[in-house]
Amino acid sequence: MSRGRSIMLVVGGAIFVALGVLIWVVDPSSRPVAVAAILFFGACLAVGLLELLGGRLSPVARARVMGVIAMLMGVGCAALGVVAWNDHNAFNRGPWQLSVGVGVVGLIFFGLGGLLLFIRGGRPFGVDRDGFRR
């Protein structure tokens, strides 16, 4: 990712995290939505910061940090689904079942994918710790 895109990701993530904090403070009844926004966009902010670090981390450490960030994105997606499940009018955009579905898919994709990335340390399947194909 280019440096300019990384900076845009950091700025965009920071704006949405700030908006989540604003929602938290201004409207206490919408705190679950604020938590979902802060988790998801905070993870986006973290990806941008990780990209700005560039090659300062080893490939394995970088993959593991990215795995943790992806798991946080999965938790943010799950929080979105839980909010939609508990309050069917929380988003007022389309059917609430769609928001729950997006939350579940995000949890599976980001959560489990991040867990695999963390465990494998960026190695593709079929390659052992020493880099040899099985």
**pLDDT attached to residue 53:** 81
Element (H or E) spanning 20, and its range?
Answer: helix 3-26
pTM: 0.80
Alpha-carbon span 51 to 53, nearest angstrom: 5
**pLDDT attached to residue 133:** 58
**pLDDT attached to residue 130:** 65
Of the listed ranges 29-33, 65-69, 86-90, 127-131, the least confidently predicted one is 127-131
3-state SS track over 61-116: HHHHHHHHHHHHHHHHHHHHHHHHHHCCCCCCCCCHHHHHHHHHHHHHHHHHHHHH
Per-residue b/e over 26-52, b at no fewer than 16 CB within 10 Å? Answer: eeeebebbbbbbbbbbbbbbbbbbbbe
Phi and psi, residue 57, nearest 5°:
-105, 150
pLDDT band, residue 112 (cuts 50/70/90): very high
pLDDT digit string, tens, across residues 61-98: 888 999 999 999 999 899 888 988 988 877 777 788 88
